[in-house]
Structure 1
Amino acid sequence: MAEPLVPDAAARHTGCLLMKLGQVMFRLSEDRLTGLGLRTRHYLILQALAEAGARSQLELGNQLRIDPTTMVSSIDHLERLGLATRTRDPQDRRRFLIAITDEGRSAATESDRLLASLNEETLADLDSAMRDDLHRLLLALNAGDTLPRAYDATRDVQR
């Protein structure tokens, strides 16, 4: 049996568990997506665009909590791959609208497939009911006000 990722003394804190397990899943996700020339943030951008349509670079960055510099380089990368386009907003020429391309939709679909297989592999220690419960709980944290508000407050202080 493998050594636990978090020592017992720290594992009693849910936040410590989430942080370390999140770091591990992030690294594994990055490794899985690298064959497509993508990183996790590129996947998130493509999914947000596929779901909501063209958006301003600023709106997209704010929604995904990606800082402006990283957002610019991420969109540049997606444009070079032909997965997204950046055009001037006809309503406000100072803004750029980011849109997903057909190739971007294909890449998002393939990324979904890769990440679903990663979930199957890495969550194999949980039965399907436990996986569903875990996902439901994480969705509740994601959709709640507390965690996003706390994170946004730390970002405001850093600016």
Structure 2
Amino acid sequence: MTDPALRRLQTLPSWLLGRAAALGHRLVADHLAEAELRLPHHAVLCAVAEYQPVAQAELARTVKIDPKDMVTVLNDLQARDLVTRTRDPKDARRNLITLSPAGCELLHRTEALGEQANAELVAPLSPAEREQLNELLRRVIVDR
């Protein structure tokens, strides 16, 4: 017999959202692993693509990665020739990050992998329910 407190917990929106987030995280991570990429690396590639050239410190704030961890992520991406890191000609203390051609190519591939993972996540829902879920989640997150 299930504990009533546990049954109650499993009806709470916070618990359900947390479980859905964990499932989504796992699905995306598994799909990105096919491209030998981890979630923080993918987030950085996405942000660089959108804001390039972007200062390394600004990138850390945008993606919400600790600056020390950002150095590690960027070193990993640079070692794979996915990003370039150059000195800002206006401020030699800053590094500017841009995507390399290989980084652009990998980002396109991983975007498709992410779409597959998200499709798996919402597969039990009808197209109308998927739209409704997205709208409701946007309201919960954005309308604060």
TM-score by length of 1: 0.79
Match of 1:109 in 2: 108
- Give the deviation of 1:78 after TM superposition: 0.8
Match of 1:14 in 2: 13
- Give the deviation of 1:91 after TM superposition: 1.3
2:28/2:118 contact within 8 Å kept = no
Q: Does 1:124 align with 2:123?
A: yes
Q: What's the secondary structure of 2:37's corresponding residue?
A: coil
Q: What's the secondary structure of 1:93's corresponding residue?
A: strand
* Paired residue total: 139
Higher relative contact order (CA 8 A, sep 6+): 2
Alignment of 1:41-80 (within 5 A): 41-80=40-79
- Give the deviation of 1:142 after TM superposition: 4.8
Q: Look up the equivalent residue of 2:108 and give its one-letter code.
A: T
Q: What's the secondary structure of 1:86's corresponding residue?
A: strand
RMSD, matched Cα:
1.7
Structure 2 distance, partners of 1:105, 1:77, is 16
- Give the deviation of 1:50 after TM superposition: 1.2
Structure 1 distance, partners of 2:53, 2:141, is 23
Larger radius of gyration: 2
Post-superposition Cα deviations, 1:73-111, rounded to whole Å, max 9, x if no partner, equal 111111111111111111111111111111111111100
Match of 1:81 in 2: 80
2:27/2:121 contact within 8 Å kept = no
Q: Look up the equivalent residue of 1:42 and give its one-letter code.
A: H
TM-score by length of 2: 0.86
User: Which runs of 5 or more structure 2 residues have no equivalent in the other structure?
Assistant: 1-5
Post-superposition Cα deviations, 1:39-88, rounded to whole Å, max 9, x if no partner, equal 11111111111122211111111111111122111111111111111111
Structure 2 distance, partners of 1:16, 1:57, is 35
